[in-house]
Amino acid sequence: MSVEFFVLVILWVISIITLLIISKGRTRLTQITFLFTQALAWIFEFIITFFKLVEFPYREFKVATEMSFSLYYIVFPTVGVLFILYYPKQLNKLKLLFYYLFFSMVIPIFTFSLERYSKLFHFINWNWTVHVLADLLIFYILKTFIFWFQKGLKS
């Protein structure tokens, strides 16, 4: 067994346990957030692989796709769920900016460390700034959609 396999198993276990723990009483919100984040992550991952910005040497479905299943369909949506469930309702704009920056930097730090210590990522024409800005945009779209969706549930 390879290091990549163990990393992915650990990520799956951590993600599932995290989702089970934090979703108690908020299952509906957790599910819609998870599914919408998967959709955003798929679009994002498709774009970066289509333009050969990133490649994934170790993939779960090598014949089916060039994209990484676990990282963008399990791990990233779990971070999206954490982002929404702990989103601060009463913060000033500066603290809210730091909240967005914190979550937008979690994924790049994680992916750059995975690239360095495993074969799960290989960055071709990708850098830290673009990754953080892309994650900021994804989290903003996610927040906008989920808050709109919650408004519909209350009426």
- Domain total of the chain: 1
- Average pLDDT of the chain? 87
pLDDT of residue 154: 59
Structural domain for 97, as ranges: 3-19+27-149
When pLDDT is averaged across residues 73-87 and rounded to a whole number, the result is 93
pLDDT digits (tens, 9 = 90+) for 94-153: 889 999 999 999 988 988 888 888 888 888 887 888 889 999 999 999 999 999 988 866
Is 39 inside any structural domain?
A: yes
Reference 146, options 86, 97, 66; nearest CA is: 86
Domain presence at residue 154: no
Number of helical H runs and strand E runs in the chain: 6, 2
pLDDT in tens, 47-72: 888 888 888 887 777 777 777 888 88
pTM score over 0.85 = yes
H/E stretch holding 123 reads: strand 122-123
Residue 155 lies in a domain: no
pLDDT over 90 at 93, yes or no:
no
Per the CB < 8 A criterion, the answer to whether 79 and 107 are in contact is yes
